[in-house]
Structure 1
Amino acid sequence: MQSNRSAPPAYPGPPYPAPQSQHGFPLYTSNLDNYISGSAIPAQGTTVFPGNPLRYGATPFQSQPIVTPAITWMPAPPIPAKCPPGLEYLTQIDKIAVHQQIEILEIISGYETCNRYEVKNSMGQMVYFAVEENDDYNLNCYGPLRSFTIKLFDCTMQPVMQLSREYQCAICCCPCVCCLQELEVQAPLGTVIGYIKQKWHPCLPKFAIQNVARKDVLKMAGPCVPCRYYSDVHFEVKTQDEKSTIGRISKQWTGLAREVAIAATNFEIEFPLDLDVKMKALILGSSFLLDFMFFEQRQRRQQQS
């Protein structure tokens, strides 16, 4: 059955702070700036974004042509029955790559900015673009422990998923409720489809993937993250009885120079092709929680040292 969604309304503005000069440095921009600002609505297939990528004060040399990169989006498949709008892309794939965008402002000044991620399929086609919504005080006072809201947009600039986490201290080892992390996943916005809930353990990361009724459906566990350097870190997704593994989230090691200097995480996510689409969305959302909990802070310490 083909989608009967009407054309999206004009996008009101960027979901992250508008580009402006901060501390003397221009805010980092990418080839997706026109996409986020709504000045260009990408179509399915290969899309070239118009505009000058060196705007905000920079003037290119007239003798050098500006080459605007092309972005290839995954074609939208038909929407299956009982599938939340926007998640139909997940019904066609069994592997996802999540790449955090490089933020030049953070590298130069150490000033924390909102995270942005590209979500791609195994063919390198863009599936979603994820943008964190936050304020400067929360970003720079609480760092990786901050509360956040991340929205995932499809090629029509429709927000199809929202990930939300409240602030938790996460500094003590006692099994108290106040220290355990929880991520709420909505798809579409306003409709909760499940949660990712941290389970207490003295040294290992353990999580329960819960449905909308907060009933545990899947389990996720990984190694002692502070002990894992110079290699990929794998988080196994298992059934409730832990007898079989149905998926994996792998934080990829990208090399010492990139890990220390750039501080941008890459994840690879695998799950069965026939897995329920809501469970796929929850596993995808888990990767963002893992990034904030274990890798954002470690990369900041490496960068500062």
Structure 2
Amino acid sequence: MANTPQFGMTGVTAVTSPPGKAQPTLQVPGAGLSWMDRPSATMGCPPGLEYLSQLDQVLIHQQVELLEMFTTWETPNKYQVKNILGQQIFFAFEESEECMRQWYGPKRGFEMHIVDNMNQEVMKVSREFNCCARGSCCAECGDGEKYAHKVTVEAPPGNPIGYVLQRKSFCKPYYAILDENRETLLKIRGPYCTCQTVCCTNDVEFQVLSSDETEQVGKISKQWAGYLKELSSDADNFGIQFPMNLEVKTKAILIGALFLIDFMFFEGKQNYNQV
């Protein structure tokens, strides 16, 4: 019998199903949550992503896991995706292997399931485990993408709409946002330092640039949460800003980029780059 996610009123714990088994049934914790009204369907928009057509900013809050706060045990990540009014638009939860989380930490492979308030999985972000992946300096060394960190974004699941691919850069994080045909849509450049410590309490910003890097069109921000939370937990708060008229698929790929950035730079309790 396939394992399925176990749900409570405040979160969902993802359990990996054995290979070849059916997709797990998805549910969303609904008690006490305020959800954004679902807009009407629009032409060319993947079903369930209509929310993004009316937004120029999303807030993503990672849920605090008490087990992680008091032990070194790594649990699956869970996130609430909201608009600027605090209304929820999606719920995201990680599916990954137990041993992978404990042994490989932020380098682990995962599937991030993104569901709406109708309990429908509308999007999936996948990262294959790549033991060869390295920092930005080595991202395109050797055999193509062998040393690069990357994720695939599907909406709906099974239908790839784009990719986030690490590019070679000296010290600063650098990514390409690609469409389903692997054509470059946007670039992302991060700062030299992504640390948030007692001496560095500013938000960390990753610039979202046009494909030729002549214009900044948005940003991905990791917000400073305060000394106590930064030291005791890797549950972080993020924001993504983009033009209102940006294609919905591209907005969705930027959400995938945020999850990759979170794993690469902010999964440790001290928020140091571990990858």
TM-score (norm 2): 0.85
- Root mean square deviation of aligned Cα: 2.6
Is 1:293 the counterpart of 2:261 in the alignment? no
Q: Match for residue 61 of structure 1?
A: none
Structure 2 CA distance for aligned equivalents of residues 211 and 247 of structure 1: 18
Which gives a bigger RCO, structure 1 or 2 (Cα 8 Å, sep 6+)?
2
Give yes or no for the alignment of 1:191 onto 2:159: yes
| 1:132 alignment partner, SS class | strand
Listed one character per residue, the Cα deviations across residues 134-186 of structure 1 (whole Å, up to 9, x for unaligned) are: 12111101100001100100000000000001122334643423221111000
**Matching residue of 1:252:** 223
- Greater helix share, 1 or 2? 1
Corresponding residue to 2:10 among 14, 27, 31:
31
Shift of 1:13: 7.8
1:97 paired to 2:59? yes
CA–CA separation in structure 1 for the residues paired with 2:272 and 2:165: 26
Q: Deviations over 1:227-286 (max 9, x none)?
A: 563211111111112121111100101111111112211101111111100011011111
Q: Does 1:205 align with 2:173?
A: yes
- Once the two structures are TM-superposed, the CA of residue 288 in structure 1 deviates from its matched residue by 0.5
Instruction: Report the Cα distance in structure 1 between the residues aligned to 2:192 and 2:91, rounded to whole angstroms.
Output: 30
Give the structure 2 partner of residue 120 of structure 1.
Answer: 82
1:182 aligns to 2:161 (yes or no): no
Once residues 301 and 234 of structure 1 are traced to their aligned partners in structure 2, the CA distance between those partners, rounded to angstroms, is 15
1:226 to partner: Cα distance: 4.3
Residue matched to 2:243: 272
Q: Retained in 1: the 8 A contact 2:125–2:152?
A: yes
Counterpart in 1 of 2:39? 77
Question: Is the alpha carbon distance of 1:40 and 1:116 closer, same or farther for their aligned partners in structure 2, counting shifts above 3 Å?
Answer: closer
| Contact 1:106/1:112 (8 A) holds in 2 | yes
CA drift of 1:125 comes to 0.4
Q: Percent identity?
A: 41
2:192 matched residue in structure 1: 224
Question: Where does the alignment leave 5 or more consecutive residues of structure 1 unmatched?
Answer: 1-11, 20-28, 50-69
Give the match for residue 153 of structure 1.
115
User: 1:114 and 1:263, CA in 2 relative to 1: closer, same or farther beyond 3 A?
Assistant: same
Give 1:233's aligned residue: 204
Q: 1:179 to 1:201 in 2, by over 3 A?
A: same
**Whole-Å separation in 2 of the counterparts to 1:150 and 1:157:** 15
Q: CA 1:206 to 1:13, structure 2 compared with 1: closer, same or farther past 3 Å? A: same
**Contact kept in structure 2, 1:225 and 1:294, CA below 8 Å:** no
Q: In the aligned structure 2, how far is the partner of 1:286 from the partner of 1:292?
A: 10
Contact 1:162 1:188 in 2 (8 A): yes
1:215 deviates by: 0.9
The structure number with the bigger radius of gyration is 1
Is the counterpart of residue 282 in structure 1 residue 267 in structure 2? no
Q: Does 1:87 pair with 2:49?
A: yes
Correspondent of 2:213 among 242, 245, 265:
242
Deviation at 1:225, TM superposition (A): 3.0
What SS class does the counterpart of residue 131 from structure 1 fall into? strand
| Cross-structure match for 1:135 | 97
Normalization by structure 1: what TM-score? 0.77
AA aligned to 1:117 is Y
What is the CA distance between 1:211 and its match in structure 2?
0.5
